Amino acid sequence: MSAPVLADADAKPNLKSQGPAIPPPLRWNGRGGDGDGRGFSPSHGALPFPTAKLGLWLFLAAATMLFALVGSAYLVRMGLPDWEHLPKPGILWVNTLWLLLGSLALEVARRAARAREVATARGAWILGGAFALLFVVGQLLAWGRLAAWGYFLATNPASSFFYLLTALHGLHVLGGLLVWGRATVRMFRAWEPAAPLRIELAATYWHFLLGVWAAMLGLFWLT
């Protein structure tokens, strides 16, 4: 427990006491009506989890609608006579592995953060982002492979949907990475009480993207 504290760039070298050096995780009211949720407006009768978490879940609800609607359009369009089978680049399986590992890494980070194991949390956090980055690169390679085979956006409906879905999903991953980068800077500057919550939110988002990707893969392969 003590090693990560000393490794903390901001911690004073002489600081021995471990308790206050790693503040307890923020369990309530992630952000609030005063813009930061630090108790300026106590939430009465609020749902028993942080406000930021509710915000994320609502966003995920909208994103679920988005992907479900493209998916249903896919199923409808598939039933029309001009639908053609699209060969899938094998690299998609490797990419799946990256996404899975990214999700696992952030899950490890989440648990470590709750247990105040700062070094583990930070390490797993970095891995989570790196795997997601690998996934994006891999997806671009998959696009390149498809293009080399002569399948472009407008080649046939299956390729149109493939590019559309992977692009939408990839943009969500990139958006996540943007937030991840911002959080990384803060997290390595100092271990804030909100850090465990941030990690938890990121882990949720990564799991969500993994789930969406699994559903997309199923759609691609079953058709």
Partner 1 sequence: MGGTSAKHAESGLHHAHEPTSFWTKYVFSQDHKVIAIQYTVTALLVGAVGLVFSWLIRLQLGFPGSVSIVQPDSYLQFMTQHGMIMVIYLLTALLLGGFGNYLIPLMIGTRDMAFPFLNMLSYWTYFVSVILLFAAFFVAGGASGAGWTLYPPQSVLEGASPGAGWGVRLLLLSIAVFVASGTMGSLNYITTVLQLRTQGMTLMRLPLSVWGIFVGAVLALLAFPALFVGGVMLLLDSLFGTSFFIPIVNVFGQQLGREGGNPLLFQHLFWYFGHPEVYIVILPAMGLVSDILANHARKPIFGYRAMVWALLAIGGISFVVWAHHMFVSGMNPYFGFWFAAATVVIAIPSAVKTYNWLLTLWRGNLRFPTPMLFAIGFVSTFVAGGLTGLFLGNVIADVPLHDTYFVVGHFHLVMGVSAIFAILAGIYHWFPKAVGRMYNETLGKVHFWVTFVGAYLIFFPMYWMGFMGLPRRYFSFAAVETLPPSVQGLNVLMTVAALAVGAAQLLFVFNMIWSALRGKRAEGNPWGATTLEWQTPTTPPPHGNWGPELPVVHRWAYDYSLPGAPRDFVPQTEPEPQPAAAAKAAKAAKSEPQPEEGSGA
Interface positions with partner 1 (CB under 8 A): 10-11, 20-21, 23, 29, 31-38, 40-47, 51, 54-55, 58-59, 61-63, 65-66, 69-70, 73, 76-77, 80-82, 153-154, 156-157, 160, 164, 189-194
Of residues 36 and 140, the one with the C-beta less far from partner 1: 36
Of residues 66 and 115, the one with the C-beta less far from partner 1: 66
Least distance (Å) between residue 24 CB and partner 1: 11
Of residues 23 and 123, the one with the C-beta less far from partner 1: 23
Least distance (Å) between residue 216 CB and partner 1: 14
> Which of 98, 92, 69, 107 is closest to 205 using CA atoms?
107
Least distance (Å) between residue 201 CB and partner 1: 13
Least distance (Å) between residue 155 CB and partner 1: 9
**Phi and psi at residue 166, to the nearest 5°:** -65, -35
CA distance 202 to 154: 34
**Phi and psi at residue 61, to the nearest 5°:** -60, -45
CA distance 29 to 48: 9
Residue with tokens 């943007």: 178
CA distance 160 to 180: 30
